[in-house]
């Protein structure tokens, strides 16, 4: 007979999920009510408004897809792209590759703009690709690459795309709530994110937003959207104005309670304060990591504060370090992914995980475990270096 599952509490400093604030867990566990209950419908409307704030947009079509970030990505692609379209896809990590998969499974053509893992998307290369290709329907890129920790210039890429008559599809899974992101000011046409990163909510739903231009494209498609579940023509009816709500699927009621609470907390803190907190805490972690003798693989200019890809000291079994951190200190940090597998650790400072005590725990635990393993680091230097930045 199976028995109830009681997870050992962890401190989550990997690439996501991040630590979920007790207020959010508490909201998550509130009694389930019907997905058509007037109280729930009113809460969905609030979620919409709060997401507009988080995305800095007035887009009417700003909702949460009832599935993880990967499904948010797919929502953007299946609704905006049709077979035969030309789509420029920028790849500088894992998630650009996933965008390519999405484009190709739609029967469209992906024109790849590739940059090294750990670098920002090269805007000049995007311009060259736009000039070299006729009828580009969309330019797609990852604002904040979770696999490497690099941030790209979303505003510049959007301007270029628009000059060439293309719309933009932007991955903001790791940037939403953690780094400056201005959907309207920057002219982002379609964007998707996740809840389990800088919003510190549980994983499983995906905030998305589409501007008028994107909505026009969706309404004027030549073919039906290939996914029934993700067809925004149907989903729009479900998230539509009060009284017009049409049954589409059963919303993940409790997950939306949690998202609501996480967005309430974001509004309480203030979006710009949240961005600043992520940057300040990165600065403290960085001081400690560098004092220890480890390095960041992303240049400071394009480094995400909330996702820190850090080199592994020579001769160290990186997986053994992660296991020991987990088993001895209940601390999770992330492994490298794709081209960076085995080459970096990914230390997340996202949402509720981004706080002073976590920085000390992470630096102290890394110092202890690496020193134990005989790694070549400056033992004992990290904590005071970090503390100097935290005052």
Site for a second copy in 91-110 (CB under 8 A): 98, 101-102, 104-106
Establish if 242 lies at the interface with a second copy (CB under 8 A).
no
Select the residue interacting with a second copy from 203, 240, 293, 364 (CB under 8 A). Answer: 203
Site for a second copy in 19-48 (CB under 8 A): 19-20, 23, 25-35, 37-40, 43, 46
Site for a second copy in 370-389 (CB under 8 A): none
**Antiparallel, parallel or unpaired: β 167-171 and 136-142:** parallel
**How many angstroms separate the CA atoms of 90 and 100, rounded?**
9
Tokens encoding 349: 């400072």
**Least gap, CB of 268 to a second copy (angstroms):** 7
Establish if 10 lies at the interface with a second copy (CB under 8 A).
yes
Which letter does DSSP use for residue 93 in this model?
Answer: S
Binding mask 251-290 for a second copy (x = CB under 8 A): xxxxx-xx-xx-xx--xx----------------------
**Least gap, CB of 128 to a second copy (angstroms):** 28
Question: Which ranges in 81-142 belong to alpha helices (H)?
Answer: 94-105, 123-132
**Antiparallel, parallel or unpaired: β 150-151 and 144-145:** antiparallel
H/E element, 306? none
Beta bridge partners of 89: 112, 140
Nearer to a second copy (CB atom), residue 222 or residue 391: 222
| Cβ neighbours around 98 below 10 Å, total | 19
H/E element, 144? strand 144-145
Tokens encoding 158: 């959007």
Task: Let me know: does 154 contact 179? Beta carbons within 8 Å.
Answer: no
Tokens encoding 73: 């990505």
Establish if 131 lies at the interface with a second copy (CB under 8 A).
no
Establish if 68 lies at the interface with a second copy (CB under 8 A).
yes
Nearer to a second copy (CB atom), residue 17 or residue 177: 17
3-class secondary-structure state, position 201: coil
Contact partners, residue 100, CB within 8 Å, separation at least 6: 89, 91, 110, 112
Establish if 7 lies at the interface with a second copy (CB under 8 A).
yes
Nearer to a second copy (CB atom), residue 61 or residue 202: 202
**Least gap, CB of 10 to a second copy (angstroms):** 5
**How many angstroms separate the CA atoms of 84 and 334, rounded?**
38
Establish if 55 lies at the interface with a second copy (CB under 8 A).
no
**Least gap, CB of 218 to a second copy (angstroms):** 15
The window from 69-77, 113-121, 137-145, 356-364 that contacts a second copy (CB under 8 A) reads 69-77
**Antiparallel, parallel or unpaired: β 167-171 and 150-151:** unpaired
Select the residue interacting with a second copy from 58, 131, 224, 376 (CB under 8 A). Answer: 224
The window from 116-124, 210-218, 247-255, 292-300 that contacts a second copy (CB under 8 A) reads 247-255
Establish if 12 lies at the interface with a second copy (CB under 8 A).
yes
Select the residue interacting with a second copy from 82, 171, 189, 332 (CB under 8 A). Answer: 332
Q: By C-alpha distance, which of 175, 183, 123 is closest to 149?
A: 175
Determine the angle formed by the axes of helices 69-80 and 94-105, rounding to 10 degrees.
40
Select the residue interacting with a second copy from 41, 67, 112, 339 (CB under 8 A). Answer: 67
**Least gap, CB of 349 to a second copy (angstroms):** 15
Task: Let me know: does 77 contact 128? Beta carbons within 8 Å.
Answer: no
**How many angstroms separate the CA atoms of 58 and 362, rounded?**
39
The window from 163-171, 243-251, 279-287, 298-306 that contacts a second copy (CB under 8 A) reads 243-251
**Least gap, CB of 100 to a second copy (angstroms):** 10
Establish if 1 lies at the interface with a second copy (CB under 8 A).
yes
Select the residue interacting with a second copy from 181, 190, 202, 271 (CB under 8 A). Answer: 202
H/E element, 91? strand 86-91
Select the residue interacting with a second copy from 57, 69, 192, 310 (CB under 8 A). Answer: 69
């Amino acid at each position: 007979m199976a028995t109830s599952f009681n997870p050992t509490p962890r401190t989550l400093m990997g690439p996501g999920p991040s630590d979920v604030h007790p207020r959010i867990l508490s909201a998550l566990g509130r009694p389930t009510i019907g997905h058509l209950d007037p109280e729930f419908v009113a809460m969905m409307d609030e979620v919409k408004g709060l997401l507009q704030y988080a995305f800095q947009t007035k887009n009417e079509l700003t909702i949460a897809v009832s599935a993880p970030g990967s499904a948010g990505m797919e929502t953007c692609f299946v609704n905006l792209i049709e077979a035969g379209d030309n789509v420029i896809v920028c790849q500088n990590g894992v998630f650009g590759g996933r965008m390519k998969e999405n484009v190709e499974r739609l029967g469209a053509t992906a024109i790849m703009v590739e940059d090294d893992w750990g670098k920002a998307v090269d805007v000049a290369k995007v311009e060259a690709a736009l000039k070299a290709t006729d009828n580009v329907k969309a330019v797609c890129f990852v604002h904040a690459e979770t696999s490497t920790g690099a941030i790209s210039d979303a505003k510049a890429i959007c301007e270029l795309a628009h000059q060439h008559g293309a719309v933009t599809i932007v991955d903001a899974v790791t940037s939403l709530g953690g780094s400056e992101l201005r959907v309207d000011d920057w002219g982002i046409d379609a964007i998707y994110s996740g809840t389990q990163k800088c919003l510190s909510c549980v994983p499983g739903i995906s905030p998305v937003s589409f501007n008028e231009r994107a909505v026009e494209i969706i309404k004027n498609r030549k073919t039906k959207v290939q996914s029934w579940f993700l067809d925004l023509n149907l989903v729009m009816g479900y998230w539509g104005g009060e009284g017009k709500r049409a049954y589409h699927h059963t919303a993940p009621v409790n997950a939306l309670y949690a998202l609501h609470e996480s967005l309430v907390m974001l509004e309480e803190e203030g979006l710009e304060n949240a961005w600043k907190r992520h940057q300040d805490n990165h600065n403290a972690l960085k001081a400690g990591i560098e004092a220890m003798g480890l390095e960041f693989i992303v240049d400071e200019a394009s480094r995400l504060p909330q996702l820190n890809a850090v080199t592994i000291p020579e001769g160290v079994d990186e997986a053994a370090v992660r296991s020991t951190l987990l088993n001895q200190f209940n601390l999770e940090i992330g492994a490298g992914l794709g081209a960076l597998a085995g080459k970096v650790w990914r230390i997340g400072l996202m949402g509720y995980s981004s706080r002073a005590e976590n920085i000390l725990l992470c630096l102290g635990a890394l110092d202890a475990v690496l020193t134990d393993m005989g790694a070549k680091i400056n033992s004992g230097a990290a904590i005071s270096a970090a503390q100097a930045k935290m005052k």
